[in-house]
Amino acid sequence: MVRPNVAKRGLLFAGFALTLNLPVALLAGPRVLPGDVTVLGILGLLGCLLALAGLPLGLQLWLIGSGGPVLALGPTGLWIRTRPTRGQAVWLPWAAVAQISRRRWGPEKSLVVKLHDPRVLRNLGAYTALDSGMLTVIHGSGLLATLTFADRTEAEIMTAVAHYSAGRCPIS
């Protein structure tokens, strides 16, 4: 069973927020404030900007972390989350899986599951269809499990996939 690692993703989000907000605070701070309070003003402005960026990023972290496992494997098939945030998972027997591959999108590596018949996912709801459609355009399938931000290493996950799939689908 693979669960999302919120701490790893939180560090990435924090770095992203600092990268965007630090230059703004450094450039805007001295122009807005008189000389003696410039450092305090920059820190205050940076704090406000980080809080403003932290609210949506924190909500996103909560949605990702509270949705349960992203992948579970067994000898007869796999459970995989159908949306990157909260949502349902779908059970797929190994016979329904056409291919399992790894893809990278920015800093994130993902395990991508392609199906023989994508119509299996058609009755999962409008939000799932929207999320899955966007992921299908980028990755070729809407069924993804994170490898970079997981509670297990990529090697452990891929070893388990190879073991449980037992050659029933190609893994690349």
* pLDDT tens per residue across span 75-115: 999 998 877 666 678 889 999 999 999 988 888 898 989 98
pLDDT, residue 7, reads 83
- pTM exceeds 0.75 for this model: no
Q: Give how far Cα 151 sits from Cα of 68, 95, 143, Å.
A: 12, 27, 18
The confidence score (pLDDT) of residue 157 equals 93
- Cα–Cα dist 120/96, whole Å: 9
Give me the chain's average pLDDT, please.
81
Residue range 130-139: average pLDDT? 69
Task: Say how far apart CA 43 and CA 54 lie, in whole Å.
Answer: 16
| pLDDT computed for residue 31 by the predictor | 61
Mean pLDDT of 33-48: 69
Q: What is the maximum span of the chain, computed from C-alpha positions, in angstroms?
A: 70
| pLDDT recorded at residue 118 | 77
- Please say if the pLDDT value at position 9 is more than 60: yes
